[in-house]
């Protein structure tokens, strides 16, 4: 781990997960208080912080998959900050740091890409079908932000539409199932918490839609 103590490296990883959980809690509470599904600036700000920490964690762990997993959604987070008017308020130095981080992390980890592919598809401990199944869940989970970006861009406004939560539920369900097969409590607990928030946002959205029709 580049000579850095394990506890520091893992602390960075857990801190990233803390911010990911924090964004979900904040968005959920904000939606509950306003009785409509919201897309608060804090949700995207916490997402950027969490993803940035995950880039650092991935580099320190020499884990190409972690870097790859964050790459697409990271720029969606930045787009939403821009749509919220937050991006233009940041200093030039901070903007440069945020934009450069994923590229630098990817370059540093490219030497690990070969090992990643070998471990991904030739892992004796995990059958190929399970690898494909788990990867599908991660891909679906990432594509929810691509959908959110496309939806919001058409409306020129940062939004968290119903489809975002439906895709989140599907991806989360696949990941939970994968975690059960792998007997991984971290995946099961982490996704189960988000599962509740996704369902609640759908309920709030449906309720708001019904009220508008009435």
Question: Number of H helices and number of E strands within the chain?
Answer: 8, 0
Instruction: Give the least confident one: 16-25, 61-70, 163-172.
Output: 61-70
- Residue 103 pLDDT: 86
- Structural domain contains residue 43: yes
- Structural domain contains residue 22: yes
- Residue 19 pLDDT: 92
Are 182 and 130 in contact, with CB atoms under 8 Å apart? yes
Contacts by 132-137 with C-beta closer than 8 Å and gap 24+? 133/174, 133/177, 133/178, 133/181, 134/174, 134/175, 134/178, 134/182, 136/174, 137/171, 137/172, 137/173, 137/174, 137/175, 137/177, 137/178
The CB-side HSE value for 81 (13 A sphere, CA atoms) comes to: 22
- Residue 10 pLDDT: 83
Rounded average pLDDT over 49-68: 81
DSSP string over 89-148: GS-HHHHHHHHHHHHHHHHHHGGGHHHHHHHHHS-TTS-HHHHHHHHHHHHHHHHHHHHH
Per-residue pLDDT at 28 exceeds 90 = yes
Q: Give the domain extent around 16.
A: 6-213
- Structural domain contains residue 91: yes
Measured distance CA(98)–CA(88) in Å, rounded:
13
Q: What is the pTM of this model?
A: 0.85
Domain count, the chain: 1
Query: Which one is predicted more confidently, 105 or 49?
Result: 49
Tokens of 61: 């762990």
Query: Which one is predicted more confidently, 3 or 150?
Result: 150
Per-residue pLDDT at 181 exceeds 70 = yes
Per-residue pLDDT at 186 exceeds 60 = no
- Structural domain contains residue 104: yes
Q: What are phi and psi of 57, to 5 degrees?
A: -60, -45
- Residue 158 pLDDT: 95
- Structural domain contains residue 1: no
- Structural domain contains residue 92: yes
């Amino acid at each position: 781990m580049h000579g850095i103590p394990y506890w520091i490296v893992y602390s960075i990883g857990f801190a990233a997960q803390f911010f990911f959980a924090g964004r979900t809690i904040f968005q959920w509470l904000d939606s509950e208080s306003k009785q409509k599904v919201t897309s608060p600036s804090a949700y995207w700000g916490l997402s950027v912080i969490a993803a940035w920490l995950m880039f650092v964690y991935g580099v320190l762990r020499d884990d190409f998959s972690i870097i790859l997993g964050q790459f697409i959604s990271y720029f969606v987070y930045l787009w939403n900050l821009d749509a919220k008017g937050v991006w233009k308020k940041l200093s030039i130095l901070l903007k440069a740091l945020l934009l450069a981080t994923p590229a630098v992390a990817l370059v540093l980890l490219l030497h690990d890409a070969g090992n990643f592919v070998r471990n991904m598809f030739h892992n004796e401990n995990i059958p190929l079908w399970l690898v494909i199944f788990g990867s599908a869940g991660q891909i679906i989970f990432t594509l929810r932000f691509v959908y959110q970006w496309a939806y919001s861009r058409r409306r020129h406004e940062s939004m968290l539409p119903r489809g975002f939560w439906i895709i989140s539920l599907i991806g989360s369900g696949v990941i939970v199932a994968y975690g059960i097969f792998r007997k991984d409590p971290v995946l099961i607990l982490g996704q189960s918490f988000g599962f509740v928030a996704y369902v609640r946002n759908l309920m709030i959205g449906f309720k708001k839609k019904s009220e508008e029709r009435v």
